[in-house]
Amino acid sequence: MVFSSISFIYYFLPVVLVLYFLVPFKFKNIVLLISSLFFYIYGEPLYFILMALSILSGYLHGFWIERAKSGRYAKIPLISSIITSIGLLVIFKYADFFIGNINWIFKSNIPLLRIALPIGISFYTFQILSYTIDVYRGNAEVQRNFINFAMYVSLFPQLIAGPIVRYTTVEKEINKRSHSLDNFAYGVSRFIIGLSKKVLLANNLGELVSVLQNTREKTILSFWIAAIAFALQIYFDFSGYSDMAIGLGRMFGFHFLENFNYPFISKSLTEFWRRWHMSLGTWFRDYVYIPMGGNRVSAIKWIRNIIVVWFLTGFWHGAQWNFIVWGLYFAVMLAAEKYFIKKILSKLPSIAAHIYTLFFILLSFALFNSDGMGDSLNSLAGMFGLLDVPFSNDFTLYYLKSYGFTMLIAAAGSTPLIKTLFMKISNMDTLRKAVNIMEPVMLVLLLLLITGYLVDGSFNPFLYFRF
């Protein structure tokens, strides 16, 4: 079940909300737990057992870590927690990648396991690790109530695609949280805005990307259009999903942290990664980069730290070499920015810094959006005219004209322009009342339009299910 579906919007969510607000507070976490387990079982009945085992492991490791914290062997339960969680992730997400590479290197014939990727495993694994590590560090109290811990890990708004919600972020709200009409209204508004990003923009851009990738009439221009469209698609797909998750969390009294902050307005790749998928970036920063010494080490060790973090970031996204190369690409670029590109950019007009950033981001998404390294290299070659294809043709121009308006709307929506304009209008005394009346009307109209798309349309993928 995905958020952008009729079954979720008009059946699952209304039933959960009614049950949640009917019961006393002491039963609200039970309602959320049962609802979240149903939500997961609906899509992954078999791998529910794996998630349940992961939850039980995290819960028991928390107690073990607390008991051993002041002892001589305090790190043993922490190491056990890390090995258990990462071990399950490796088996179910990366086993065939390792087997395939071993077969290729040693010319062996070890059969692949062909295990289907459990939805959400990358996200809930990192949430469990954030809990056990923070309990070890003394940043979080051990959660003694199993229902509360299981609810934290399986909470359906963020279960299958994040953002990665750390235990310390919602620790107090698990046990005590407030509900208000303002919070609920904000949650509904945020959910509909995220749903609009996903259905009206990301899905339409995805159709364009699919057409351009699968056609035999490729051109240099079509490769660039596909790269731009995919960059906007994945942004609205994932930021839209994050908006929906944050909105749903607010409906139930949780305050999840923001996951995107207009990354395409960045003036450097370093800034881009402070604005893109922030929950993942800060997770690697706090649990990998800083423990290795961060930037308070020698230049050689800092480069090592950057390579390790970005290798893991790429590998986290998928068990293919193009994801690893994608991560290492950013490691190289970020190191280059630190030592000499940043000095050059500081002397250039800001528009040049924007162009530089967007150019290398588009190249990175050409690496990212492919089926292996061969496909990645083919896309990059096509973008730079190294394939035997024309610059443009009637097919490319037709689709550029057909989707050009959608791309322009998406480009504007990826900046603070629309939000800033709306806030200025809202703050004008003469228009404030009109805006207060029109805002809910517009949200209802958006929901009706989205419903029409979902009823009539079949193209409704979600990119981050791959990870």
Degrees, nearest 5: CA angle 244-124-463: 50
**Catalytic positions:** 317
